[in-house]
Amino acid sequence: MNKNYKIITINGVRGIITAVFVVLGLIAGFVISPGWVCMKLWNFGFQQSDYVSIINIYQGIVLWAIIALSLYALNNRRPLIGFGVSQGLSREQIKDILERAKNSQLNQFKEFEIMSKKIEDSDSEVKTSEVDELNEKKEMRN
């Protein structure tokens, strides 16, 4: 379970009214106000033109959405939409990756051998000490 979840609790009618107020404030601040500014700028720029009509607030909001999404898409370093086929790895890169994997596997095998030798050595030391103890006990009995 992801522990980064943020839980928002809304208690009662006051909580619902507060949540609605916050959502409407965000919509007004980030959608309607910039849309109104875009509408005013459009109408001011083209008020003398007979070829371009004036726009209303809804069209201003759509203009703002177009501008905001275009800026977001153009300023992001990572492309949002990719066209074409992604380039795969070259043969040299594949060989390099396989070589590193092989070396890593060999290193793990060598470490395993070293560990098994240490375990065998420690087992043989334990066995020789047990044999020595048994021999001492036999000598004491005799």
Query: So where are the chain's domains?
Result: 12-75, 88-142
> How much is the pLDDT for 136?
74
CA–CA gap between residue 60 and residue 39 (Å, rounded): 4
Give the model's pLDDT for residue 33: 95
Asked whether the beta carbons of 39 and 63 are under 8 A apart, the reply is: yes
What backbone torsions phi and psi does residue 10 show, to the nearest 5 degrees? -120, 120
CA distance 27 to 23: 6
Burial of 66 (0-12, 13-18, 19+ CB in 10 A): exposed
User: Mean pLDDT, consecutive 10-residue segments, the chain of 142 residues?
Assistant: 71 90 94 94 88 91 93 72 65 86 82 79 66 70 63
pLDDT of residue 127: 64
pLDDT of residue 20: 93
Q: Distance between CA 81 and CA 88 in Å, rounded? A: 18
pLDDT of residue 103: 83
- Give the Cβ contact number of residue 68 at 10 Å: 15
Task: Please give the pLDDT value at position 87.
Answer: 65
Q: What is the pTM of this model?
A: 0.47
- Give the whole-angstrom CA distance, residue 37 versus residue 45: 12
